[in-house]
Structures are given as C-alpha cells and as structure tokens.
C-alpha cells in the first residue's frame, strides 16, 4: 500500500503543521489561514491515486498525483468566493487525504470531476484550463466547470460559479487527465441565467488521439449527455462554441463531465 503525508505551509514555505506518514492522514489546524498558506501533499511514488479533501466543507475528490509532491493553495480574497462561505473559514480546519482503493480507481465515473482543482501546475489531475476566462475573475475560471456544482440559475459567487468566455468565439477549455483514460460519454450543463444568458447550439469535443465529436445543444438548464465510441485519451478540449442567435452576448458553462475509467 502506498503512503502519503501532508504539510501546511505559510507563504515563506515554513511548516505550520504536519501529518504522520500513512495511507490515510489528516491535519487539524487551529488558527485562521493567512494569504499564501498552502497544503503540500507528498506521496511515496509518482502516479498515486488519492482521495483529497482540503476542507471539510468540500466534497472529497479522487485525484491522480502525477508528481510525488503536489500543492494546493488555500484560496483567499476574491479567489475564495467560488467556495461555500463555510469553506476555509474560522480558526479550526480539517484537511484529509487517503490513498484511493483499486475499486475506486477502476469504477466507471466522471473522470473530469475535481473539487480541488486550482489555477496552474499543481502536480495533480484532472485539471481544467482555458485560453480565456472573463476578466480573469475566479467566478468565471475554467476550474469551476469541473467542481461538481450544477447550480446554473444565476451567475457570480458560489454556488453559481461558471466558466465565462468573455464573449470570445475562439474560447476553448481543456481537461487534462494526467494519464491515459478510456472514455465513452460526456455531458455539458450550460449556465441558464436566462434572459441574462445566451447558450450554445453546438460545440466540438476534441480528444488527444485526434478524434472529435460534434455536440448539438439546446436551451435547457439540464445536463446534456452524449455517448460515443470508446477511445483512450489523455485530454479533451471543448471548442468551436456556436452561440445562439439571441440578444444576450453571455453564453457560459456550468459543468463539463467526461465519463469512463
């Protein structure tokens, strides 16, 4: 069995508190967070699957630690408003991580889901990135589209965060899985703050193997699911977003799901 350990670091990389080394570890930190604090997750081998919960108000996520050392930056200021007000608040914090079981890793599931995704190269996957995010604001960041929150009747702060494209017809969002996976379905949940929002009538899902799927979309707040031939890939990209011919200039994405093993 693999082992893991965690540290909570301040902005100067000084250790505030550390866990033991085991296959299931936790940290209780009895102080308020400060800007620049970060969780350091260390595994005994590259390519370890972990169930990571950086705050007890967040749903744990099954992540793939491609590197032995992974880093999660504690959200602060405007970055924090995409999370529940209960998250990362107060002066008592519980952080938990455990090694995932073989059954969890091999289960057919939404491989894009990661409630702990953040901007940048943090060493763990899945990871969402985009060539444009509206005004660079956290409430419109790419990682919002894989956080598992489907509330789409409004926009802005939690629970209505989304991926905003800043009216850019060339906008594209990429999900990097960090390793080869086998997928056969995807689903898009469009933001549906009508009449403020517009929507897309079509989009293209391109895969790392060179294949692509054209997705025909309708105006609905519900997830729209698409199935296709199985393929082995390392990333998927959503692009060629065709906006409906309506008055609103604001189509956006609440969630993207990619299913497989």
- Could you give the angle at the alpha carbon of 226 between the alpha carbons of 238 and 157, nearest 5°? 55
**Same-domain status, 160 and 185:** yes
The token pair that represents 102 in the structure block: 């073989």
pLDDT tens figures, 143-167: 999 999 999 999 999 999 999 999 9
**Same-domain status, 72 and 177:** no
Q: What is the pLDDT of residue 23?
A: 97
Average pLDDT over residues 83-97: 98
Which domain range does residue 130 map to? 124-260
Q: What is the pLDDT of residue 1?
A: 77
Q: What is the pLDDT of residue 167?
A: 95
The token pair that represents 59 in the structure block: 């749903």
**Same-domain status, 193 and 79:** no
Confidence (pTM)? 0.96
Does residue 114 lie within any of the structural domains? no
**Same-domain status, 128 and 253:** yes
Does residue 157 lie within any of the structural domains? yes
Q: What is the pLDDT of residue 29?
A: 98
- Could you give the angle at the alpha carbon of 152 between the alpha carbons of 151 and 157, nearest 5°? 75
Does residue 112 lie within any of the structural domains? no
- In whole numbers, what is the pLDDT of the chain averaged over residues? 98
How large a percentage of the chain has pLDDT more than 70? 100
Q: Which of 64, 215, 41 is nearest to 127 (CA)?
A: 64
**Same-domain status, 186 and 89:** no
Q: What is the pLDDT of residue 28?
A: 98
Does residue 115 lie within any of the structural domains? no
Q: Is the separation of the CB atoms in 33 and 76 below 8 Å?
A: yes
C-alpha 214: how far from chain center: 23
Does residue 256 lie within any of the structural domains? yes
Q: How many domains does the chain fold into?
A: 2
Asked which of 76, 107, 138 is the last residue of a domain, the reply is 107
**Three-state DSSP state, 181:** strand
């Amino acid at each position: 069995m693999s082992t893991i350990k965690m540290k909570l670091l301040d902005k100067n990389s000084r250790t505030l508190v550390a866990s033991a080394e085991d296959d299931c570890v936790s940290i209780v930190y009895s102080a308020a967070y400060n800007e620049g604090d970060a969780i350091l997750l260390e595994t005994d081998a590259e390519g370890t699957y972990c169930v990571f919960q950086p705050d007890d108000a967040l749903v744990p996520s099954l992540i793939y630690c491609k590197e032995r050392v992974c880093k999660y930056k504690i959200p602060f200021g405007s970055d924090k408003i995409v999370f529940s007000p209960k998250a990362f608040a107060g002066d008592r914090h519980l952080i938990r991580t455990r090694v995932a079981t073989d059954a969890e890793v091999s289960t057919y599931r939404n491989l894009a889901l990661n409630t702990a995704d953040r901007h940048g190269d943090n060493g763990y996957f899945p990871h969402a990135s985009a060539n444009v995010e509206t005004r660079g604001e956290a409430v419109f960041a790419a990682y919002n589209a894989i956080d598992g929150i489907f509330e789409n009747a409004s926009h802005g702060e939690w629970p209505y965060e989304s991926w905003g494209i800043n009216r850019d017809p060339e906008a594209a969002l990429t999900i990097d899985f960090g390793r080869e996976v086998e997928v056969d379905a995807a689903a898009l949940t469009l933001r549906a703050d009508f009449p403020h929002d517009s929507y897309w009538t079509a989009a293209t899902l391109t895969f790392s193997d060179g294949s692509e799927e054209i997705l025909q979309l309708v105006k609905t707040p519900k997830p729209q699911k698409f199935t296709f031939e199985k393929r082995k890939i390392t990333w998927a990209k959503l692009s060629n977003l065709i906006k409906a011919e309506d008055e609103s200039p604001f189509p956006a994405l609440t969630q993207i799901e990619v299913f497989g093993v």
